[in-house]
Amino acid sequence: MPPEPGEPELRTHEEYEWLHVLAGRVRLVLADHDITLDPGEAAEFDTRLPHWFGPAGGQAVEVLSLLGRQGERIRVRAAPRREAAAGHGRGEGRKTVDTARRR
């Protein structure tokens, strides 16, 4: 995704989204939250909330984005890296955004 000029335009729709940052830094605006995600970090959210994501700066970013039916959530399972398990890896500063709405 290349950088875009101007302010982000927040959108809503009837799905659930999961995104994973592959390269670059991603800015995620989700309702009242403004979050920066680094490579290897992920976010999941209900798209009925106003949202936008794109480059956090002047550099292009690469993301993997999956959309699912409303209310469904994607589960990611992975073994922690050895250094993360010891408290020395990137996992200790992980950001979490979980805005699931259950009925």
pLDDT, tens digit (0-9, with 9 covering 90-100), for 81-96? 665 555 544 444 445 5
**What's the confidence (pLDDT) of residue 103?**
38
Summarize the confidence of residues 19-35 as an average pLDDT: 95
42-46 and 51-55 beta bridge pairing: unpaired
pLDDT, tens digit (0-9, with 9 covering 90-100), for 29-82? 999 999 999 999 999 999 999 999 999 988 999 999 988 876 556 566 666 666
Integer angstrom CA distances of residue 79 from 25, 37, 72, 83, 86: 24, 21, 23, 12, 13
Summarize the confidence of residues 12-34 as an average pLDDT: 93
pTM beyond cutoff 0.85:
no
Can you say how many angstroms the Cα of residue 62 is from the centroid of all Cα atoms in its chain?
12
